[in-house]
A and B are shown apart, each in its own frame.
Chain A
Amino acid sequence: MSAETATFETGDVLARGRVRWLECQSSVEAIKRLVHGLPAGPVSVRAEKLQPRRIAVALTEGWRGEVAHVALTNAEGGLAAYKIIDPSFHNWFGLAFAMRGNQISDFPLCNKSFNLSYCGHDL
Chain B
Amino acid sequence: MLEILKNRLKQGHRTLKFPKETPKLAERYRGRPIIDAAKCAADCSACAESCPTGALQMHPPRIDLGACLFCPACSSACESGALRFGQDHRLATRTREELLVDGGEAKLAAALDEKLRKLFGRSLKLRQVSAGGCNACEADLNVLGINVFDLFRFGIQFVASPRHADGVVITGPVSANMRQALIDTVQATPQPRVVIAVGACAISGGPYAGSPEVLGIPPEIKVDLFLPGCPPHPLTLLDGLLRLLGRIEDEGRISSSST
Q: Measuring CB to CB, which residues of chain A are less than 8 angstroms from any residue of chain B? A: 117-120, 122-123
Whether the Cβ atoms of A119 and B213 lie closer than 8 Å is no
Chain B residues within CB distance 8 Å of chain A: 130-135, 138, 172, 175, 177-178, 181, 213
Min CB gap A72→B, angstroms: 13
| Pairs A–B under 8 Å by Cβ, sample size 9 | A118-B138, A119-B133, A119-B134, A119-B135, A119-B138, A122-B131, A122-B177, A123-B132, A123-B177
Q: Which of B130, B138, B175, B178 has the most CB of A within 10 A?
A: B130
Chain A residue at minimum C-beta to C-beta distance from B178 = A122
Give every chain A residue within 8 A of B132 (Cβ-Cβ): 119, 122-123
Q: Considering only CB atoms, which chain A residue lies closest to B181 in the complex?
A: A122
> 7 smallest A-B Cβ distances: which pairs?
A119-B135, A122-B178, A122-B177, A119-B133, A123-B175, A119-B130, A122-B132
The chain B residue sitting closest to A121, CB to CB, is: B177
In whole angstroms, how far apart are the Cα atoms of A47 and B144 in the complex?
36
B178 surroundings in chain A (CB, below 8 A): 122
Give Cα A117 to B134, complex, Å: 10
| B213 close to A117 (CB less than 8 A) | no
Q: How far is the CB of B136 from the nearest CB of chain A, in Å?
A: 9
Closest to A81 in B: B213
Given contacts A119-B132, A122-B130, A123-B177, 9 further A-B contacts (CB under 8 A): A117-B135, A118-B135, A118-B138, A119-B130, A119-B135, A119-B138, A122-B178, A122-B181, A123-B213
Residues of chain B within 8 A of A117, CB atoms compared:
135
C-alpha gap A122/B133 in the complex (Å): 9
Closest to A119 in B: B135
Q: Complex Cα distance A14/B187, Å? A: 39
Q: Cα distance A120–B130 when bound, in Å?
A: 9
- Residues on the A chain within 8 Å of B134, using CB: 119-120
Chain A nearest CB: distance from B138 CB in Å? 6
Q: Considering only CB atoms, which chain A residue lies closest to B173 in the complex?
A: A123
Which single residue of chain B is at the shortest CB-CB distance from A86? Answer: B135
Question: Which residues does chain B contribute within 8 Å of A122, judged by CB atoms?
Answer: 130-132, 175, 177-178, 181
Instruction: Tell me the bound Cα distance from A118 to B131 in angstroms.
Output: 10
A18 vs chain B, min Cβ distance (A): 18
Taking the closest CB of chain A, its distance from the CB of B198, in whole angstroms, is: 13
Q: Which single residue of chain A is at the shortest CB-CB distance from B135?
A: A119
The distance in angstroms between the C-alpha atoms of A118 and B130, with both chains bound, is: 8
In the complex, what distance in Å separates the CA atom of A119 from the CA atom of B173?
A: 12
Task: Determine the chain B residues whose CB is within 8 A of the CB of A118 once the complex forms.
Answer: 130, 135, 138
Residues of A with C-beta under 8 A to B130: 118-119, 122
| Bound-complex Cα distance A117 to B132 (A) | 12
List the B side residues contacting A123 at CB < 8 Å: 132, 175, 177, 213
How far, in whole Å, are A122 and B177 apart by their CA atoms in the complex?
6
Chain A positions within 8 Å of B133 at CB level: 119
In the complex, how many angstroms separate the beta carbon of B140 from the nearest chain A beta carbon? Answer: 13
- B213 proximity list for chain A (CB < 8 A): 123
Output the nearest chain B residue to A84 by Cβ-Cβ distance.
B134
